Amino acid sequence: MNTTTLQLDAPGYFARRTWLDWLFAVLAVVGAAVAFSRYGASMDVYEKGILIGAVPAVIGLGWFWPPLRVLMLAVGAASLLAIGLYARVHDAFGADLAAGENVFLLKYFLSSQSAILWMSVLFFMSTVFYWIGYFARERGATAERIGSKLAWAAVTMALIGTLVRWFESHQIAPDIGHIPVSNLYEVFVLFCWLTALFYLYYEDQYRTRALGAFAMLIVSAAVGFLLWYTVVRGAHEIQPLVPALQSWWMKLHVPANFIGYGTFALAAMVAFAYLIKQQAGETRWWRLAPLWLLGVVLCFEPLVFRRSGEGGSAYWMVYFGVSALAVGGILLARRRIAERLPALEVLDDVMYKSIAVGFAFFTIATILGALWAAEAWGGYWSWDPKETWALIVWLNYAAWLHMRLMKGLRGTVAAWWALVGLAVTTFAFLGVNMFLSGLHSYGEL
């Protein structure tokens, strides 16, 4: 009786909102109104619809997870500062980007390339501090807290770099500007901050930072590729879109797709942590297969790109050495690592939730991709290599979730399956671009 009365008397959703919630909502509405008034004439009907739909989405996210409000406001303020600094000198198309590079804040912090380089450094530093947390004994929690703050700073710089790059692209020429999710360089930045942000959400919800070392390991691996791709291929240069990508569908399809990729990668690293904890006391080397599997995944990348003939062999050999040391270190310290990891039930739950979120968004991305293909190529499905491997990824995780929900799949088998899923997803993401060709060959290596 008392429980029922308490439930009936509980305040509604909007009644629970604080003045900070409503202030954030007002700022979101005002920001959208300013954007609409200044740039509405340059938007088509679809872009106007996306802007209007983004307002309740942003407010809902800020209310759902308050740390996002601070992130959005910080990113927005820094991006507007960068735009204001660029706008001080004009050329024929708008802001003079070359002159802007002479401004201290732009050159070293707020230009897109500077911000993304800061993102890379901060993610590496975050990874190091998270791993220090396993071995620092009484100061382990402090090291993990620093690692978490560095991860937040890296996400912030990644988003600043992305938004400023979007602005920069519009200042080069009238037909160049586009949302920066169109090539491998840009989507690797997207992958890094999305994966890290989803991890930080689970870190907050489960009140544990012990998984940060594993989550940041996959992010740092992506950053390693991004740096090579920048130096060897000059991929950071903003290029015009090919005709097939000049579509508003890209603004929806690609982010949804990479929420899937990011959460699938996060689930795989949590699965790896699960197996480490489960086999911490194992002394038979052949039973420590998960560690060897991670070694193969980490070492595969440098060996493949070393033979690509594009230079950077010394870089990939250093990458290989660091990967081998990381795997060997985890192998030797598995007992200490396992002691700090959360309970197996928590690891299993994070793995499941990551895959569930990723599958939902990957399904949405696949549907949006089919609609985009119908508009661009005249058919919803053409069995292009990228489409085929996207279907394989979808079927893999559909089967995983089916076995989880219908058959109660848990534990070792689920963790192994999630690790195999990472290999399948990686090939769909990168392998198709490296070894196959087709309609989606926009980011060849």
CA torsion sign, 264 to 299 to 203 to 271? positive
> Do 140 and 134 form a contact (C-beta atoms < 8 A)?
yes
Helices (H) then strands (E): counts for the chain: 18, 0
* Domain end among 240, 265, 291: 240
Distance between CA atoms of 193 and 71, rounded to whole angstroms?
Answer: 12
The verdict on 323 and 407 lying in the same domain is yes
Q: Is 177 exposed, middle or buried (CB count within 10 Å of its CB: 0-12, 13-18, 19+)?
A: buried
Distance between CA atoms of 105 and 100, rounded to whole angstroms?
Answer: 9
CA torsion sign, 430 to 159 to 257 to 49? negative
* Domain end among 64, 88, 122: 64
The verdict on 183 and 236 lying in the same domain is yes
pLDDT at 8: 54
From first to last of its 445 residues, the chain has per-residue pLDDT tens of 455 454 556 678 888 899 999 999 999 999 999 988 988 887 878 778 888 999 999 999 999 999 999 999 999 999 999 998 998 877 767 777 888 888 899 989 999 999 999 999 999 999 999 999 988 877 888 999 999 999 999 999 999 999 999 999 888 877 788 889 988 899 999 999 999 999 999 999 999 999 999 999 999 989 988 988 888 777 788 888 877 777 878 888 999 999 999 999 999 999 989 988 887 776 666 666 666 666 666 555 555 555 555 555 677 677 777 777 777 787 788 888 999 999 999 999 999 999 999 999 999 999 998 888 888 777 787 888 888 999 999 999 999 999 999 988 888 899 989 988 988 998 888 877 776 665 555 555 5
pLDDT at 9: 63
> Do 266 and 422 form a contact (C-beta atoms < 8 A)?
no
> Do 386 and 440 form a contact (C-beta atoms < 8 A)?
yes
Look at residue 383 and give its three-state secondary structure.
coil
Token pair belonging to 93: 């198309």
> Do 106 and 114 form a contact (C-beta atoms < 8 A)?
yes
pLDDT at 6: 47
* 114 found inside a domain: yes
The verdict on 41 and 141 lying in the same domain is no
pLDDT at 291: 63
> Do 273 and 347 form a contact (C-beta atoms < 8 A)?
yes
**DSSP-assigned letter for residue 427:** I
pTM of this structure: 0.91
Distance between CA atoms of 418 and 264, rounded to whole angstroms?
Answer: 8
| Domains held by the chain: number | 3
* 10 found inside a domain: no
The verdict on 261 and 387 lying in the same domain is yes
Contacts of 64 (CB under 8 A, 6+ apart): none
Distance between CA atoms of 117 and 85, rounded to whole angstroms?
Answer: 19
* 4 found inside a domain: no
Helices (H), 88-234: 97-100, 104-105, 112-135, 140-172, 184-206, 212-233
* 265 found inside a domain: yes
Contacts of 348 (CB under 8 A, 6+ apart): 274, 410, 411, 414, 415
Contacts of 84 (CB under 8 A, 6+ apart): none
* Domain end among 183, 213, 240: 240
Range of the domain at 167: 68-240
The verdict on 138 and 218 lying in the same domain is yes
* 248 found inside a domain: no
pLDDT at 178: 85
The verdict on 193 and 264 lying in the same domain is no
Distance between CA atoms of 73 and 169, rounded to whole angstroms?
Answer: 23
Phi, psi of 239 (to 5 degrees): -120, 155
Per the DSSP assignment, residues forming a β-bridge with 95 are 90
The verdict on 216 and 145 lying in the same domain is yes
